[in-house]
Structure 1
Amino acid sequence: MTVAAALAWVNAPEVDPSTTMAARRMTIARGFAQHMTALDSRTEIPPFGLVPSRRRRHEPFIFSPTDIDTLLSGARNLRTRFASATHETLIGLLAATGMRVGEAIRLDRGDVEETDAVLTIRESKFGKSRLAPVQPSVLAALQRYARLRDEVHHEPTTVSFFVSTRGNRMVYPTIHAVFRNLCDGAGIGATAAFPPRIHDLRHTFAVRTLLNWY
């Protein structure tokens, strides 16, 4: 296994140079070479940078306070009172805490500790869990939603904190679709290089926090 052999495979005629295929092949070749070093000391591991990656990283969209207010206002005008409350509270929670969407979806009722105003986020990225303190205003919003949820679904079928109009745990495609419609309807990010994603609320939280610290 040599660097020349790896490059020959990466630049084979069937590889489209306008795609990321070459970079993916080099990653595979490098991993194989690392494995082969234990079997043959003559093996050459291709260094990084031989093949430039053509992948364009998604530039985060940083929401302004007005953007977030507009999203919350739009959520309040959804088709039903309960859907409005669910999406307004969920978007507000993401904006105020920087949580991931999946973390919010996985919240159970017992994960919202009202006495200490702390959320328990279980088995998130890399299987890690953490505690997330929240402001009194955020806790109050969660409590209002919980009261409405229990009023609408007085016989719960799930322990999930956020539930759909049918009473089931929320799913990402539904949340994404509503968020996309809210952004498009309000013209948020219309001129941005990349359309805003709901995950960009997390990026926005991180940026605002760092600026406030500075």
Structure 2
Amino acid sequence: MNIVVFGATGGTGRHFLELAAAAGHSTVAFARDPLALADARPGTIRQGDVLDPDAVARAVEGADAVVSALGIGYSRAATTVYSAGTDHILKAMRATGVARVLCVSTTSMNPVPWRAAPFQRALTSWVLHPMLRRPYADMARMERLLLEDTELDWTLVRAARLTGGRARGRYRTAAGHRLPGAWSIARADLAHYLLDALGDPTARRSVVEIAY
């Protein structure tokens, strides 16, 4: 496939580029700073800002699928990168006839059930959400854009806390329901799942949680 990757300079995006190339796919890495990918393996680099709808549309045209791993790290600042960026991506896909899209979010967006471990509930409700309330609010808008879409073939991937560890090749996923004990996942394994999920019919139009 020809896969366009947004968030290509981040840890997940870089791992995805490597795995996709090794699997024989062609990739288009969308990046504001192409030099940040000097040591990666994208087939093509398209310079641009995800907040520029025209640049996004040019990158998406001719693709078979889109992977969005947009992120601002653990910044507490208000942002529109998630919502506006995803809005531009989805509109470009509809305009160019590209249907398949995977979008990365976080398990912290889903309310922690009462039966979960008290520490997990406290961490999510009393620490993460208050501390990251502004970027989380924009991420929630991003999720709504995807979940309310009736045209595209989407998968929303909610990942546990991302780490820089080595790929284990083994992880847990849950489609349509909470994944208990979802503490962490290496970016390398998240990228592995994203590549597999592109061709997995069971992941289509599903919310999937992933963790070890």
Which TM-score tier does this pair reach, normalised by the shorter chain? under 0.3
Higher strand share: 2
- In the superposition, the TM-score normalised over structure 2's length comes to 0.24
Instruction: Mark the structure with the bigger radius of gyration.
Output: 1
What is the TM-score normalised by the length of structure 1? Answer: 0.24
* Structure holding more helix per residue: 1
